[in-house]
Structure 1
Amino acid sequence: MLGSGARPDKCGVCGGNGSSCQRVFGIFEDSQVNVGYHKIIAIPSRATKINVTEVARSRNYLALRSRTGHSIINGNWAIDRPGVYESAGTTFVYKRPTETSGESFYAEGPTTESLDVYMIFQQDNPGIHYEFVLPVDNPVHPPQNPLQSSQSYGSPTTGGLREVSALESGSVLTHRGNLGTHQRNAGTHGGGVSTYHGNAGAHQGSPVPPRPRGGQRDRRLQEYHTDAQEDPVQAQPVYRWTSQSATQCSVSCGKGFQYPIFRCVAQNTQELVPDGHCDSVSKPASVAEACNTHPCPAFWSVGPWSQCSKTCGRGVHHRQVLCRQAYANRTVAVHPQGCSHLEKPNSTQPCEARACTHWHIQSDWESCSVPCGVGQRKRSIRCVSNQGNVVGEGECSAKQKPTDSETCDMGPCIKTWFYTDWSSKCTVDCGIGVQKRSVLCLNNYINGRSPDSCEGPRPTETRACTRPHCQRQVRWYTSPWNQCPVQCGNGTQNRDLICVVKLGTNFSVTVLSDCAHLDKPPSVQPCNAGPCGDRWFLTDWNECSKSCMGGVQRREVKCLDDVGFASSLCDDSQKPSHQRICNNHPCIPELDENCKDKYYNCPVVVQARLCVYSYYKMVCCASCTHAERRGTDPRRHRVSGHRGAGGGGG
């Protein structure tokens, strides 16, 4: 608070007296250590103000790892770059040596787990200074003997020594603190020398710890724990957790749950303080308590509507309507009388899926009748039954019939040159080929093309293109599709397929098996010649009514639509004739079966008038007899007589 005069103590507590933490520090001076990783010190959880620094520059490296085996700095024989590394809930700043100091890393903390500090030894140890601050759960005044060792990092005893196992190898282990000097000589035990130097006094003659079996040295790492308090005589406040309030109930009725809210208070003043003053481990667990156990009012619960009871025509939708009541996050069905104060929703409602006959759109909209301006477009609409059969239009509602024609606007008509972009493909895969584009002169004519050319020169439709790096290619070649074999309606058209080899601009036909690895294009496809519309349908001519002297042949002619029903929309001017004259040649008596032509050139004999000779009349009996009978035809005499009357002669 501004103007309060409060200051943070060395433990970081605002207005504190420094008794809530203890400072752990020392110097590791073991100078004879084998090459490799060696553990120096363990940093407990909740440590703050961590600082590990080499006293002088060396070729050694500091390393840091978690108790789970996770490497943080310089692990796995790999040296990391100087920088910031996040782990154990804090951020470590790693620095490389300078001209005046060696390697170092520091962190503000607090740490969330225990960490181990290692040194990668490559030469004699110049000395490693370490320090960090640990919180004190129950701080007390320091004892009279400042060198009394504590049993754990979180011990309430402050100002004493901290003993942990040191390295398994090495001959000299030296740690220094600032509360006193404690020297211990191993004597004849063959152990190393552990020396502490300080400025508060000297204590000598400490008992030498027992030597372990096997002649191994027993060295322990001595760490000083010091108070960071400013006034050790001042009494320490006591804080505890208390329940001040509870969370809001989870429901307003029908049994919900709420949880107590614990806050940290000072025991002597019962004032609220930040939760950090209380021990998080001792915080009571929040146990749910029942609340708002009175039952909720009943309500009508409705289910989803069922499908229509009929697939066509008018039917009924059904749904389930129940009286329900909520309790303890569950709803149960109750007697309908419980919802008597509410209006009951309908459990049925009318529906109509569709009419039993309906209009069916058989085809999409055709293209507009004009390329520009306003035109018409059509589509096919039919009345079908519920089974999909086509029925008469009178079976469907005329009011519900969709439109089968509409106007279409293709934009204003113009008269100018239009052209597409150049095709992205060259006509050859290598060498010099051609690129194409389409050029049109558009105007307001129905067919979209002008009888007169547009103004200006016609844009070019081709241009040269180059494709280098010719390679042999095998591909399918398809001919153009044959014309649709039907005049109208659906049919099937074909095209030819061959396998060709292309090298540059040269093509040559090869066997079909060379193209077997390629996707074969289709050689057959359906085609549509357009709607047939109403047309005249004919039958074959029947037999002639007479064999000679003019008879009559007849046939049926009907106008039918696409479906085959009779229609009156055909053009009467184009109606084919339904009868014709036949066999109008004169009747000739049958010849004697022995009167036959014996030569193939008997017609020439007749034309040369050689039938007057008995020889030719015998060998060309049939031809000469027919010629003679035609000459005696009375109608021919009448024609000849008329021709003779005109003065022409015969």
Structure 2
Amino acid sequence: HVGCDRILGSDVREDRCRICGGDGSSCEAIEGLFNDSLPEGGYEEVVRIPKGSVFIHIQELNVSLNFLVLKSKGDQFFINGKLTIDTPRRFDIAGTTFHYRRPTDQPETLEALGPTNMTIIVMVLVREENPGIHYRFNPPVSRNLLSGYAWHYTSWSRCSVLCAGGGQTQQVVCKKQTDHTVVYNHFCDKRSKPKDKKRACNSEPCSPSWWSGEWSECSRSCNGGLRTREVLCKRKISPTEEKVQDDGACTPQRPPLTEPCSNHTCPPEWLALDWSECNPSCGPGFRHRVLLCKRGESGDTLPESQCPKHGRPTTRVRCNLQRCPPPMALGRGKAGGLAGTNMGSAMY
């Protein structure tokens, strides 16, 4: 097992204030029920969650037409503001992530681990009678300006990785001397603040694991093809070093090297045969070709009506090989033969 310090075999856990190895004294638990009768059609404040709060949970007691709203003290809306209803999802707000859930058959909820980096105001957009809103969160304890303060090292942070070499830090915080609760740094003398500590952790190599490369292009565009990828058994030795291992060193079974793709049927398409010779052989003429409607890569011939009309190639183009020679008059030449014996082929 791994503790909150991310060290194997460690039993260190977070306290209620989300401090690893803390004693829970740096925050207090706030819980309440907002069940005021409210006028419909506007926003009404429910509760203010102070900066630094953790383990935030807001929930309507019953399903209603009302909507939970989050905004800042400066009137910046984060969820369901300006009479616009947001889709339930995760929202990155105030340095933490709020999970907004609104099932059709369960009450609406807002949850976040914290800590928040600003004060958050919880409101409700009222559309009908308020069924009641339950809230709980753990804010930092109140500051006591009359007590003495001093710098203290926190517990070691979680290790940055589980194997192959990571790092941990031990930060310096300002604590109230009377009860050792963490307070804002300006209560302590900045000139005497020590430096944070760092150390290596989890330096043992990682267990071998499968590494998969990117899939190749599909071998066919339709009618079923295959795509391939590279799969290797690797072991991370350090933050900058990896070694390829024999496949038997990795578990479970190796991921597939190939997978089917483009399983849809090829659409019919036009196939144009070769152009004919220019006819006639001189002067303005035309070349022709035959079009066939084929079923994609299978090669089956289909009726022309099944191929797209807008993409039909042309079957006739103009051509002009050479200018035809002028006609020659028939008569006897000096050799006694017929003049213009080549006229027939020239005019063809």
TM norm structure 2: 0.42
Larger Cα Rg: Structure 1 or Structure 2? 1
* TM-score (norm. length: structure 1): 0.24
Structure of greater relative contact order (alpha carbons < 8 Å, 6+ residues apart): 2
